[in-house]
């Protein structure tokens, strides 16, 4: 067990999204050793969980935010994070996105799901690219 270290917040990142169809959405990403949580601020100002990835207790550090960038020019950034990096393993990269729905976050692709090795130079197969 990781004990108290697992409960500690590792990163907190705030960002806004401005979808092309209007509106402004505020988000916060909070990582611990065991979870990555994405919260969205609602109209009343309260934070609500929009996405959560629960990790595996045997890995530490588990989650690292790598980038928040709008990859498809829709006004809502995608989130790139690394999962499961240890001394023995570089971990896997995961991309979260919303597609056409800014309030519905989902995992778009994970290197572990594709069986891609870090540094292989392999691009995402066309059949696995996001479709909205």
**For 71-125, how does the pLDDT look when each residue is reduced to its tens digit (9 = 90+)?**
988 888 999 988 777 677 777 888 899 866 656 888 888 766 545 444 444 444 4
CA distance linking residue 112 with residue 20, whole number of Å: 32
Tokens of 45: 């100002």
pTM, rounded to two decimals = 0.71
Q: What is the pLDDT of residues 12-43, one digit of tens each?
A: 999 998 888 888 889 999 988 778 899 999 88
Q: Quick check: 111 and 94 in contact, CB under 8 A?
A: yes
Look at 85 and 68; give whichever has higher pLDDT: 68
Q: CB-side exposure of 11: number of CA atoms within 13 Å? A: 20
């Amino acid at each position: 067990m990781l004990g108290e270290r697992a409960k500690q917040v590792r990163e907190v990142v705030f960002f806004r999204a401005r979808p092309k169809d209007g509106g402004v959405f505020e988000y916060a990403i909070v990582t611990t050793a065991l979870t990555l949580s994405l919260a969205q601020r609602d109209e009343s100002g309260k934070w609500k969980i929009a996405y959560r990835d629960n990790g595996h207790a045997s890995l530490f550090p588990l989650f690292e935010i790598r980038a928040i960038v709008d990859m498809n020019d829709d006004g809502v950034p995608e989130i790139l994070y690394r999962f499961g990096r240890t001394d023995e393993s570089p971990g896997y990269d995961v991309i979260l996105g919303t597609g056409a729905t800014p309030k519905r976050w989902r995992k778009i692709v994970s290197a572990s799901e594709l069986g891609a090795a870090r540094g292989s130079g392999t691009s995402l197969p066309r059949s696995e690219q996001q479709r909205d």
